[in-house]
Amino acid sequence: MSAQTPEVRSTEQLREKWMKPEVITGSEILLRSLLLEGVECVFGYPGGAVLYIYDAMYGFEDFKHVLTRHEQGAIHAADGYARASGKVGVCIATSGPGATNLVTGIATAYMDSVPMVVITGNVATTLIGTDAFQEADITGITMPITKHSYLVRDVKDLPRVIHEAFHIASTGRKGPVLIDIPKDVSAAKELFQPAAGVQLRGYNPRTVPNRLQLDKLCRAIEDAERPLILAGGGVIYSGAHEALFEFVNQTQIPITTTLLGLGAFPSGHDLWTGMPGMHGTYTSNHAIQQSDLLINIGARFDDRVTGKLDGFAPHAKIVHIDIDPAEIGKNVPTDIPIVGDVKTVLEMLIPSAPKAGKADAWRDQVTKWKAEYPYRYTDSEEVLKPQWVIEMLNETTKGEAIVTTDVGQHQMWAAQYYKFNQPRSWITSGGLGTMGFGFPAAIGAQTANPDRLVISVNGDGGMQMCSQELAICAINNIPVKIVVINNQVLGMVRQWQELIYENRYSHIDLAGSPDFVKLAEAYGVKGLRATTKEEARSAWAEAMDTPGPVLIDFVVEKGENVYPMVTQGSTIDQMLMGDA
């Protein structure tokens, strides 16, 4: 205990310093309030409307800020930080174009229920509504894609607003909250008094479920002959992975995890069937279609999971567990709705949940499907296959890395061939499908987990959308290993044009892309290239042995497709399996 005392005292002394009642500017109030919320790092980009805030950072050693090279890089990094840590991510941008450059990142976080506080500057309150220089109604623009937003008109409200924003972002169904601070508010002085508590009329997320609904679920499990669990990102966001593991072992129900649910359940477990949906496993999709009880835990029945809605899980009684009542019954009619926090629900279920005693034959069937229909591809000794690259990453890291991805074919290959055994190790843009997300998200994830290996898997298209953030890795020695799956084409678009648009390839050629090795070196990051398996193994080994950031350009076969694939308008068991 004595060895820890100096650190504890230091933290207490810092909090006392931050909470000291003084007459200070709104900018200083903002920084102190963020520190009192436990913020460890803020990602941002300065500009005229936030200069008072950045001036307050000058010499403020307790406050850590990472200067990105684009506002979109800042918000994706804050998003990656939040997903990897479970804490609230924070970013700052100026008014007008600075604020509007955050919009895609806000929508990304909103679609995937990521807790974030987004701080923007605005013109002075006297100029709002006059079309002043760099004015934009950012609260109006982002209203459909934020959980809540504030336009702060009085410096006295800042401590309360900041405290409320963190509470809203991190409770219930998590999501982004925006705080817009006019320039005169950030300059005004006021006696700082930290917010004492949160009282929000009408905002009381329900976390404890109805006990009668849990009893109905237990009876349904007893009666089911072909039960299946569909687990989503809500399991990870609520910290329910251990409870889910116990629930599955107790009930002996097979389980499939969605794209955002990967890592919520160990991939090596006998009852895990893989990912469902458009590029999911044969086992998961056929299990959904043949199940007589489908238990959705923290997923939202996304169209990429359900396929043709009127043909989805046609024989199943549907159970939906979710903290957001608006999701229950929204897409798929629900027989047993259970509103509550996933972790709380599972912990209440475990003492009484029965084993699915009538499902022995079903478990045998699922095991047989897994053996007969794994993910397959046709390997080659002549060209580098992208699936093989992901398998190599998985084997050499034993599935223990944090993996972030951009969006496209490489994203699906990473989801299929990298095996996740713990939560918050898989970070990808699911709902919005945001190109440019993966690399800056990896910077945020590495910032949150400085001692873990972070791999950023990107396509050659998405890598060019935020490649300027290579500067951050070089300057701050952020040791992300940056993988480019380079097929010189917009791969997923090409695949659709091949299979659905009868080989009419329209505007997908990326052959004019830069030399990614030289691009990395221009920013001061080591760059390596591989075109064969031998070169790939050697380059990856060198990257792993390098203490700082490294970019590896894996030149892969251009025409490779992601299989299985379910085309739009089909049920999820109508799968294109590919040549393999």
Handedness of CA 51, 57, 63, 68 (dihedral sign): positive
Query: Edge-to-edge strand order for the sheet containing 426-427?
Result: 426-427, 402-405, 454-459, 481-486, 550-555, 526-530
Where exactly does CATH 3.40.50.970 map onto the chain? 11-192, 386-562
Alpha carbons 337 and 265: distance in angstroms, whole number: 23
Annotated active-site residue 183? The verdict is: yes
Query: Edge-to-edge strand order for the sheet containing 227-231?
Result: 255-257, 227-231, 293-297, 317-322, 336-339
Alpha carbons 221 and 39: distance in angstroms, whole number: 43
Where exactly does CATH 3.40.50.1220 map onto the chain? 211-372
- Over the chain, what is the mean pLDDT? 96
Res. 3: pLDDT tops 60: no
Which of 28, 43, 57, 71 is catalytic? The answer is 71
pLDDT at 537: 98
Q: Which residue has the tokens 């349904």?
A: 220
Annotated active-site residue 60? The verdict is: no
- Tokens read off for 464: 């060019």
CATH class assigned to 11-192:
alpha beta
Res. 368: pLDDT tops 60: yes
Cα three-residue angle 116-71-46, rounded to 5 degrees: 100
pLDDT at 341: 98
Other CB atoms within a 10 A radius of the CB of residue 8 amount to 10
CATH for 386-562 is: 3.40.50.970
pLDDT band (50, 70, 90) for residue 580 = low
Which of 57, 275, 412, 492 is catalytic? The answer is 492
b/e burial code for range 354-392 (CB count within 10 A of at least 16 → b): eebeebeebbebbeebbeebebebeeeeebbbbbbbbbb
- CATH for 211-372 (3.30.70.1060, 3.40.50.1220, 3.30.70.580, 1.10.10.10): 3.40.50.1220
Alpha carbons 339 and 320: distance in angstroms, whole number: 8
128-169 pLDDT, tens digit per residue, is 999 999 999 999 999 999 999 999 999 999 999 999 999 999
pLDDT band (50, 70, 90) for residue 5 = very low
pLDDT at 16: 85
Res. 256: pLDDT tops 60: yes
Other CB atoms within a 10 A radius of the CB of residue 147 amount to 21
Res. 345: pLDDT tops 80: yes
pLDDT band (50, 70, 90) for residue 417 = very high
Tell me what the mean pLDDT of segment 333-355 comes to: 98
pLDDT at 197: 86
Other CB atoms within a 10 A radius of the CB of residue 190 amount to 19
Res. 99: pLDDT tops 60: yes
427-436 pLDDT, tens digit per residue, is 999 999 999 9
Tell me what the mean pLDDT of segment 542-570 comes to: 97
Tell me what the mean pLDDT of segment 330-355 comes to: 98
Whole-model pTM? 0.96
Tell me what the mean pLDDT of segment 11-16 comes to: 83
Res. 455: pLDDT tops 60: yes
Res. 8: pLDDT tops 80: no
- Percentage of the chain surpassing pLDDT 70? 98
Alpha carbons 129 and 135: distance in angstroms, whole number: 8
Annotated active-site residue 392? The verdict is: no
Tell me: cis bond preceding 564? Omega within 30 of 0 counts.
Answer: yes
373, 282 contact by CB (below 8 A): yes
Q: Which contacts qualify for 122-127: CB closer than 8 Å, 24 or more apart? A: 122/49, 122/95, 122/151, 122/180, 122/181, 122/182, 122/183, 123/49, 123/95, 123/182, 123/183, 124/182, 124/183, 124/184, 125/153, 125/182, 125/184, 125/185, 126/184
Distance separating the N- and C-terminal Cα atoms of the chain? 60
Extended strands (E) in 344-495: 402-405, 426-427, 454-459, 481-486
Tell me what the mean pLDDT of segment 370-387 comes to: 96
151, 180 contact by CB (below 8 A): yes
Res. 6: pLDDT tops 60: no
- Tokens read off for 26: 């709104």
Which of 134, 213, 250, 468 is catalytic? The answer is 134
Tell me what the mean pLDDT of segment 256-263 comes to: 98
Res. 1: pLDDT tops 70: no
pLDDT band (50, 70, 90) for residue 13 = confident
Residues belonging to the chain: 580
Alpha carbons 483 and 464: distance in angstroms, whole number: 13
Q: Rounded to whole angstroms, what are the CA distances from 84 to 359, 486, 569?
A: 36, 26, 35
Annotated active-site residue 134? The verdict is: yes
51, 26 contact by CB (below 8 A): no
Query: Edge-to-edge strand order for the sheet containing 116-122?
Result: 65-67, 42-44, 89-93, 116-122, 176-182, 148-151
Tell me what the mean pLDDT of segment 96-105 comes to: 98
pLDDT band (50, 70, 90) for residue 274 = very high
Res. 9: pLDDT tops 80: no
Annotated active-site residue 57? The verdict is: no
- Tokens read off for 469: 């953030």
- Tokens read off for 348: 């209440």
* Three-state DSSP state, 192: coil
